[in-house]
Structure 1
Amino acid sequence: MKLLWAIMVILILLLQVRLWVGEGSFAQVWTLEEAIADQREENAGLSARNERLYAEVRNLRNEQGAVEERARMNLGLIRDDETFFLVVEQ
């Protein structure tokens, strides 16, 4: 009878070790859940950035004034009848 109890205790301990340490253990599941949460946060940020970029592309495609504004700000566009003034701070 003692041998049967000893075998059962050893089996239960082996199952517990696998549950806490082995592949598919609680520790591994917790690590994967944290990685999934981090990835979801990163994906949300990237999704928001993509929406802003899509809105900007739609704006540039639909309005000619938006293209001119971008050219003025980023490329220094001036028209023939305009005068360019550069203000330099000391």
Structure 2
Amino acid sequence: MKNKWIAVLLITLLGALQYRLWFGKNSISDYKGMQVQIQVLEQQNANLKQRNQLLKADIDDLQLGIESMEERARNELGLIKEGETFYRILPKQ
């Protein structure tokens, strides 16, 4: 009779542990969800690192001298020097 109760107790304990493993806090499904979140965050970090590298390159260019500032003014603001002729070539749409 005593062995029967021990077996029932052990099976109940095993069931409780299995329930916690599959459905409780920090379960396998939570683990898989966290893995997906980690992948999304790693992708975001990679994108931000690339953007930071581009910004750093721009900063380095600006620190190099007037040539980079002149290039930016030409490209972004459409500025030209005295005596220059500006040609804009538009693509066919």
**TM-score between the two structures when normalised by the length of structure 2:** 0.82
1:3 aligned residue: 5
Unaligned runs of 5+ in 2: none
1:19 aligned residue: 21
Deviation string 1:35-63 (CA, Å, 9 cap, x unpaired) is: 11221121012101111110111101212
Give the CA RMSD over aligned residues: 1.9
Mapped partners of 2:72, 2:79: distance in 1? 9
Amino acid corresponding to residue 40 of structure 1 in structure 2: E
Partner secondary structure for residue 81 of structure 2: coil
1:70 aligned residue: 72
After the TM superposition, which parts of structure 1 deviate over 6 Å for at least 4 consecutive aligned residues?
Answer: none
Mapped partners of 1:87, 1:15: distance in 2? 72
Amino acid corresponding to residue 15 of structure 1 in structure 2: L
Work out the percentage of aligned pairs sharing the same amino acid. Answer: 33
1:40 aligned residue: 42
Distance apart, 1:87 and its partner CA:
5.1
Partner secondary structure for residue 9 of structure 1: helix
**TM-score between the two structures when normalised by the length of structure 1:** 0.84
Mapped partners of 1:87, 1:49: distance in 2? 29
Mapped partners of 2:36, 2:91: distance in 1? 50
Q: How many residues align?
A: 90
Unaligned runs of 5+ in 1: none
